[in-house]
């Protein structure tokens, strides 16, 4: 089925899952799954430009992932740096802006420096945005927002009875980014895993059994086609 260019989701968020299983099935070390998974990131980013998706948010490292073996964390951080070094050219060529949501300060200095460089260099681009969720947890994000709002109340800057949904949304990590229209999860698990809990309130969910390292343009297009068949009601009855 062909894609309707009029109904492309503006923002797609992805829980990239199944790297470890992909490697295990092949008798390879887990890091190999993450390496091939990084190629899927490149492919999906390219597909977003091809199909006209403006915002892509990827759950690359959760606040809970820090409990993984040190060697795996090191391997993931190395991959992230490699990705930033190699992908920066593509971001420039396509005028795609890089942003991070999460506690960036938890990351090793070398990764943070690379991230800050690319974030700064691409900050003025407007053709697309890649948001990497790094050391990210949605409950922490909401807690951070509550703390910032409480501080404003304490200072007398904000009155409690004027706090609305917009106030809360406005204190999340990327308040100017529209909510995801589509949330994809690979590897067949039906879980949100502490990802964008506030922002995905009305997102369409798409779960595929395909493991992340095998998720490329064709699988992404299939997710968009499926999304286009949905009838979004946002709580209404139309």
Q: Which residues are catalytic?
A: 17, 65
Count of residues touching ligand FPP (by CB under 6 A): 19
13 binds ligand FPP (CB under 6 A): no
Q: Does 220 bind ligand FPP (CB under 6 A)?
A: no
In angstroms, the Cα distances linking 214 to 34, 41, 53, 75 are: 11, 11, 20, 20
Please report whether residue 20 would count as binding ligand FPP according to CB under 6 A.
Answer: yes
Q: How far is the CB of 60 from ligand FPP (least distance, A)?
A: 4
**Interface with ligand FPP, residue 37, by CB under 6 A:** yes
Residue nearest to ligand FPP (CB): 20
Q: Closest separation between CB of residue 220 and ligand FPP, Å?
A: 14
Which is nearer to ligand FPP, 80 or 184 (by Cβ)? 80
How many whole angstroms separate alpha carbon 109 and alpha carbon 154?
34
Cβ-based neighbour number of residue 83 at 10 Å: 18
Stretch that binds ligand FPP, among 6-14, 32-40, 102-110, 176-184 (CB under 6 A): 32-40
Stretch that binds ligand FPP, among 33-41, 152-160, 192-200, 214-222 (CB under 6 A): 33-41
What is the sign, positive or negative, of the torsion defined by CA atoms of 43, 41, 96, 224? positive
- CA gap 40, 196 in Å, rounded: 21
Q: Are 28 and 196 spatial neighbours (Cβ–Cβ below 8 Å)?
A: no
Binding mask 162-201 for ligand FPP (x = CB under 6 A): ----------------------------------------
Residue number with CB closer to ligand FPP (55 or 83): 83
Angle of CA points 117, 168, 150, to nearest 5°: 95
Rounded CA-CA distance 188/210 in Å is 7
Given a contact cutoff of 8 angstroms between Cβ atoms, the answer to whether 40 and 213 are in contact is yes
60 binding ligand FPP? (CB under 6 A):
yes
Instruction: Examine residue 21 and tell whether it contacts ligand FPP (CB under 6 A).
Output: yes
Asked whether position 132 contacts ligand FPP by CB under 6 A, the answer is yes
Chain contacts with ligand FPP (rule: CB under 6 A): 16-21, 34, 37-38, 41, 58, 60, 65, 76, 79-80, 83, 132, 212
């Amino acid at each position: 089925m062909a894609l309707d260019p009029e109904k492309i989701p503006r923002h797609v968020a992805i829980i990239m899952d199944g790297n470890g299983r992909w490697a295990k099935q092949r008798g390879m070390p887990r890091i190999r799954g993450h390496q091939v998974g990084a190629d899927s990131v490149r492919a999906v980013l390219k597909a977003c430009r091809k199909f006209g998706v403006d915002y892509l948010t990827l759950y690359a490292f959760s606040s809970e992932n820090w409990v993984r073996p040190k060697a795996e964390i090191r391997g993931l951080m190395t991959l992230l740096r490699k990705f930033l070094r190699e992908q920066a050219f593509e971001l420039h060529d396509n005028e795609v802006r890089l942003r991070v949501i999460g506690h960036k300060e938890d990351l090793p200095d070398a990764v943070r420096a690379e991230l800050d460089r690319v974030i700064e260099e691409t900050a003025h681009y407007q053709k697309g945005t890649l948001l990497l969720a790094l050391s990210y947890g949605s409950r922490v994000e909401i807690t951070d927002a509550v703390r910032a709002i409480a501080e404003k109340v304490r200072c007398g800057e904000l009155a409690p009875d004027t706090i609305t949904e917009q106030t809360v949304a406005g204190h999340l990590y990327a308040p100017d980014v529209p909510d995801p229209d589509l949330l994809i999860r690979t590897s067949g698990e039906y879980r949100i895993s502490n990802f964008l809990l506030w922002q995905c309130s009305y997102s369409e969910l798409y779960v595929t059994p395909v493991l992340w390292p095998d998720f490329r343009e064709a699988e992404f297009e299939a997710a968009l086609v499926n999304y286009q068949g949905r009838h979004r009601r946002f709580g209404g009855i139309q």
